[in-house]
Structure 1
Amino acid sequence: MNNQAGDFFEDLPLILAGPLLQHTEAKSVTVLVALQQSCQVELKVYATTNQGEGLGNCLLEGRRFSVALGKYLHVVAITAVSPVGDSLTNDGIYAYDLQFTCADQTLLTLEQALCSNRFPRVSISYFEHQKPTFVLPPDRLEDLHIIHASCRKPHGSGIDALPILDSLIASTVKEPRRRPHQLFLTGDQIYGDDVAAPFLWVASNLGDVLLGWEEQLPVGQGYCTPKELAPGERAQVATEEAGFTAGLHNKSAKVSSHLLSLGEYYAAYLLAWSPVCWPDAFPPGKWVSCDRQALKTWDQAVADLRQLMYTLGMVRRALANIPMYTIFDDHDVSDDWNLNQAWCLQVYSSPLGRRTVQNALLAYSVFQAWGNTPEQFAVVGQSGKKLLAAAESWSISAGTDVAAQEAIANYLGIPNCNPNTGIPNFVLEDGVFILERHPEALTWHYIIRSNCHEVIVLDTRTWRGYPADKKPIAPPMLLCPRAMREQLLQSLQKTADNQNFTTFVIAPTNVFGLQVIDWIHHWHLKHGKVFSTDVGDAWNVNFEALAKLLTTLCEQRKQVVILSGDIHYSCATRFSYGAIPQSSKQSVLVQLTASALKNEETLTRLIHTRLKQWLLPEKIRRWLGWNHPPKMLEVSAKNLQRRQALTNPEWHCVLEWIQRQPTQKFPSPVDMSTFVLLRNRTSYRSSWLQRFKFWQFPWFQDGREVVGLNNLASVHFELSTTSNCYQVIQDSYWFSLPLSTEIVYSRFATNLQPNQYLLDEFLIVGSK
Structure 2
Amino acid sequence: MKYQVGDEFLQELPLILAGPILKHTELDSVTVWVALKQSCQVELKVYDTTNDGETVGNCSLEGERCTVSLGKYLHVVAITARSTEGHRLTNNRIYAYDLQFTFANLSPQTLQQALCSNSFPTVSISYFEHQKPTFVLPPNRLQDLQIIHASCRKPHGHGFDALPILDSLIETSANQPQHRPHQLFLTGDQIYGDDVADPSLWVASTLGDTLLGWEEQLPVNELYCTPQQLSPGERAEIATNQAGLTAGLHQKAEKVNSHLFSLGEYYATYLLAWSPVCWPIAFPKGHQVTRDRHAIKNWNRAVRHLRQFIYTLWKVRRALANIPMYTIFDDHDVTDDWNLNQAWCLRVLGRPLGRRIVQNALLAYTVFQGWGNTPEQFAQGQSGEKLLAAAQAWSASQGRDVKADQAIARYVGMPAKDPHTGLPILVRDGSVFILDRHPEALTWNYIVRSDRHEVIVLDTRTRRGYPADQKPIAPPMLLCPKAFEQQLLLPLQEIAEQTQIQTTFVIAPTNVFGLQVIDWIHHWNLQHEKVFSTDVGDAWNINVEALAKLLTTLFEERQQVIILSGDIHYSSVARLSYARTHSKLQSVLVQLTASALKNEEILTRLIHTRLKDWLLPEKVRHWIGWINPPNMVEIPAKQLHHNRQLLTNSDWHCVLEWIPGNSVQTYAYTADVLSLIAPWKRAENAKWKWLQPLMWWKSRWFQDGREVIGLNNLGLVHFDLLDESSSGKVIQDLYWFSSWYPTQVVYSRFESQLRPNQSLLGNFRF
The question of a shared fold, defined as TM-score above 0.5 by the shorter chain, is answered with yes
Which ranges in structure 1 are unaligned for 5 or more consecutive residues? none
Preserved CA contact (<8 Å) 1:577 1:652: yes
Instruction: Report the Cα offset of residue 685 of structure 1.
Output: 6.3
Alignment match, 1:754? 756
Instruction: Report the Cα offset of residue 497 of structure 1.
Output: 3.8
Distance, in Å, in 2 between the alignment partners of 1:686 and 1:587 is 53
RMSD in angstroms over aligned alpha carbons?
Answer: 1.5
Alignment match, 1:101? 102
Alignment match, 2:641? 641
- Quickly say closer, same or farther: Cα 1:172–1:593, change in 2 above 3 A: same
Alignment of 1:42-441 (within 5 A): 42-380=43-381, 382-441=382-441
Q: Helix, strand or coil: the match of 1:289?
A: coil
- Quickly say closer, same or farther: Cα 1:685–1:711, change in 2 above 3 A: farther
- Quickly say closer, same or farther: Cα 1:687–1:651, change in 2 above 3 A: farther
Distance, in Å, in 2 between the alignment partners of 1:686 and 1:695 is 18
- Quickly say closer, same or farther: Cα 1:3–1:514, change in 2 above 3 A: closer
Alignment match, 1:736? 738
Instruction: Report the Cα offset of residue 512 of structure 1.
Output: 0.6
Task: Read off the aligned partner of 1:172 and give its amino acid letter.
Answer: S
Instruction: Report the Cα offset of residue 242 of structure 1.
Output: 0.3
Q: Helix, strand or coil: the match of 2:411?
A: helix
Distance, in Å, in 1 between the alignment partners of 2:92 and 2:541 is 41
Alignment of 1:673-688 (within 5 A): 673-684=674-685
Residues 448-501 of structure 1: per-residue CA shift (max 9 Å, x gap): 000000000000000000000000000000000110011001100112243432
Alignment match, 2:462? 462
Task: Read off the aligned partner of 2:208 and give its amino acid letter.
Answer: G
Preserved CA contact (<8 Å) 1:684 1:739: no
Preserved CA contact (<8 Å) 1:685 1:739: no
Distance, in Å, in 1 between the alignment partners of 2:550 and 2:725 is 29
Alignment match, 1:592? 592
Preserved CA contact (<8 Å) 2:5 2:206: no
Q: Helix, strand or coil: the match of 1:741?
A: coil
- Quickly say closer, same or farther: Cα 1:678–1:471, change in 2 above 3 A: same
Q: Helix, strand or coil: the match of 2:755?
A: coil
TM-score, normalised relative to structure 2: 0.98
Task: Read off the aligned partner of 1:179 and give its amino acid letter.
Answer: R
Distance, in Å, in 2 between the alignment partners of 1:420 and 1:684 is 61
Alignment of 1:557-706 (within 5 A): 557-581=558-582, 583-646=583-646, 648-684=649-685, 693-706=695-708
The more displaced of 130-139 and 281-290 is: 281-290
Q: Helix, strand or coil: the match of 2:534?
A: coil
Residues 578-627 of structure 1: per-residue CA shift (max 9 Å, x gap): 0002x320000000000000001111111110000100000100000011
Distance, in Å, in 1 between the alignment partners of 2:421 and 2:466 is 19
Alignment match, 2:717? 715
Distance, in Å, in 2 between the alignment partners of 1:671 and 1:110 is 31
Instruction: Report the Cα offset of residue 756 of structure 1.
Output: 1.1
Residues 48-106 of structure 1: per-residue CA shift (max 9 Å, x gap): 01000000000000000000000000000110000111100002100000000123142
Preserved CA contact (<8 Å) 2:655 2:761: yes
Distance, in Å, in 2 between the alignment partners of 1:532 and 1:334 is 14
Task: Read off the aligned partner of 1:135 and give its amino acid letter.
Answer: V
Distance, in Å, in 1 between the alignment partners of 2:657 and 2:674 is 39
Which ranges in structure 2 are unaligned for 5 or more consecutive residues? none
* Structure 1 runs, 4 residues or longer, greater than 3 Å off: 1-4, 682-692, 720-724
Alignment match, 1:551? 552
Distance, in Å, in 2 between the alignment partners of 1:451 and 1:687 is 51
- Quickly say closer, same or farther: Cα 1:130–1:609, change in 2 above 3 A: same
Distance, in Å, in 2 between the alignment partners of 1:86 and 1:635 is 56
Q: Helix, strand or coil: the match of 1:309?
A: helix
The more displaced of 303-312 and 496-505 is: 496-505
Equivalent pairs counted in the alignment come to 762
Instruction: Report the Cα offset of residue 221 of structure 1.
Output: 1.2
Preserved CA contact (<8 Å) 1:44 1:98: yes
Alignment match, 2:452? 452
Q: Helix, strand or coil: the match of 2:249?
A: coil
Preserved CA contact (<8 Å) 1:17 1:35: yes
Distance, in Å, in 2 between the alignment partners of 1:639 and 1:315 is 51
Distance, in Å, in 1 between the alignment partners of 2:543 and 2:308 is 40
- Quickly say closer, same or farther: Cα 1:229–1:465, change in 2 above 3 A: same
- Quickly say closer, same or farther: Cα 1:357–1:684, change in 2 above 3 A: farther
Residues 283-329 of structure 1: per-residue CA shift (max 9 Å, x gap): 21002222222111100000000010000000000000000000000
- Percent identical: 68
Q: Helix, strand or coil: the match of 1:307?
A: helix
Preserved CA contact (<8 Å) 1:390 1:407: yes
- Quickly say closer, same or farther: Cα 1:4–1:158, change in 2 above 3 A: closer
Distance, in Å, in 2 between the alignment partners of 1:262 and 1:522 is 36
Distance, in Å, in 2 between the alignment partners of 1:2 and 1:620 is 54
Instruction: Report the Cα offset of residue 555 of structure 1.
Output: 1.5
Q: Helix, strand or coil: the match of 2:708?
A: coil
Instruction: Report the Cα offset of residue 682 of structure 1.
Output: 4.1
Preserved CA contact (<8 Å) 1:2 1:209: no
Preserved CA contact (<8 Å) 2:6 2:210: yes
Distance, in Å, in 1 between the alignment partners of 2:529 and 2:494 is 41
Alignment match, 1:745? 747
Distance, in Å, in 2 between the alignment partners of 1:432 and 1:174 is 52
The more displaced of 644-653 and 462-471 is: 644-653
Instruction: Report the Cα offset of residue 703 of structure 1.
Output: 0.4
Distance, in Å, in 2 between the alignment partners of 1:669 and 1:4 is 37
